[in-house]
Amino acid sequence: MAEPHAAPVAVGPRVGDETIAFSLADPNRRLVGVELRHELDLPGQDTRFGYDETAGAWTLTLPRPPIRRMEYQLTLYHPDGASETVTDPTNPVLTPGAFGDKSVLGMPDYAAPAWLAGEQAWPIGAELNVSTGVGPVEITVLSPDEPTSRLLVAHDGPEYDRLAALGRFAATMVRHGRVPPFHLALATPGARDERYSANPAYATAMVGSVLPELRRTLGTDGPVVLMGASLGGLAALHIQRRHPTQVAGLFLQSGSFFVPQYDEVEKDFRYYNRIIRYVAAVLRGQGSGRAVPTTLTCGTAEENVHNNRLMAATLRRQGYPATLHEVPDAHNYVAWRDSFDPYLVDLLAKVWADSGTRWGDGGRVRDA
């Protein structure tokens, strides 16, 4: 005899014109609750599933957010009080992330970038372990066959390469003549939260030790572009403003430019107050230094979009040729990957248009 509610039920996520619907079969009601976990900014939206007795399933329907893909997990609540956060067992589409796999719900209008089918990443040209005042900084450099003095340094570099195919992107864009040849330096974060949270000691380490060692090893003296996402974007901006002659361009993705107005939810983060003080100094114009081409990207549906809008407007007022591009996604590596073309391409082409540009060794501004 069939179990109660064992008849086939509709399960799994479904995308409508105006809504998205989730359903998880539980005909014997072994769970006491299910909740959707995501990184979208959906104020006022309840993400707890309700139980549909007729379908024998937990269900949730939400207004369709302004995105083309959605990464999410489910938290399952058990009768004994235990809970677990898992990928959606009804959805086979997964994506890796810095904190584990997530389920992916693609909208009908989403397409992955064509360059993912392009060139293989360049081989490793150098591996450095640079001693600094904040501990060793490990760098893996991917280098093209052509000689070049240009350098792109990526915070969270190994993660960018593994989760966003940054090495493949670089090789493909150079191969097709979209940008001139350059070295790609993938910086391992180490103590990420401490280093990337507007830490003056880290900025000094990068400019005083890491960049000089990269230049010596690679024989380069050309323009350096810094890039980073989330805290890595904050760290890139912080380095440029403290040492403005060392950085020729910035690519900042979903930067953690916390301000109390928008980011009180982050107040338990250990370095929240340091970031708040630093960002306030930037907003006041302290240490504006030398303005450089700056591109910001941010998801339309992530919490950081509000502070990124504020930062982009602030930088423009201070003379930076800064642009913010909002993309229909959230705070994740695929969103950042999908923004490389055209936004990183355009920035690199602009900064490196004059391959003979040289950058000095001096310069430091006040603490901002």
- pTM here? 0.89
pLDDT in tens, 177-227: 999 999 999 999 999 999 999 999 999 999 999 999 999 999 998 889 999
- Tell whether the model's pLDDT for residue 128 goes beyond 70: yes
For residues 253-262, average pLDDT: 97
pLDDT band at residue 166 using 50, 70 and 90 as cut-offs: very high
Give domain 14-106's CATH number out of 3.30.450.20, 3.40.50.300, 2.40.50.140, 2.60.40.10: 2.60.40.10
> Quick check: 256 and 230 in contact, CB under 8 A?
yes
For the chain, give every residue range classified as CATH 2.60.40.10: 14-106
Average pLDDT of the chain to the nearest whole number: 91
- The reported pLDDT for the residue numbered 206 is 97
- Contact assessment for residue 271 and residue 194, using Cβ atoms and an 8 Å cutoff: yes
Share of the chain above pLDDT 90, in %: 84
Q: Where in the chain is the domain with CATH 3.40.50.1820?
A: 119-351
CA distance 134 to 327: 34
Cis peptide before 342 (omega within 30 of 0): yes
pLDDT in tens, 16-45: 989 999 999 999 999 999 999 998 887 778
Q: From CA 136, how far away is CA 270, in angstroms rounded?
A: 22
Over residues 337-348, mean pLDDT: 98
pLDDT digits (tens, 9 = 90+) for 285-300: 987 668 999 999 999 9
- Listed in order, strand segments (DSSP E) in the chain are 14-15, 19-25, 33-38, 50-52, 57-63, 69-77, 83-86, 94-95, 102-106, 124-130, 137-142, 151-154, 183-187, 224-229, 249-253, 294-299, 322-327
Superfamily of 119-351 according to CATH: Alpha/Beta hydrolase fold, catalytic domain (3.40.50.1820)
For residue 125, pLDDT over 60 is answered with yes
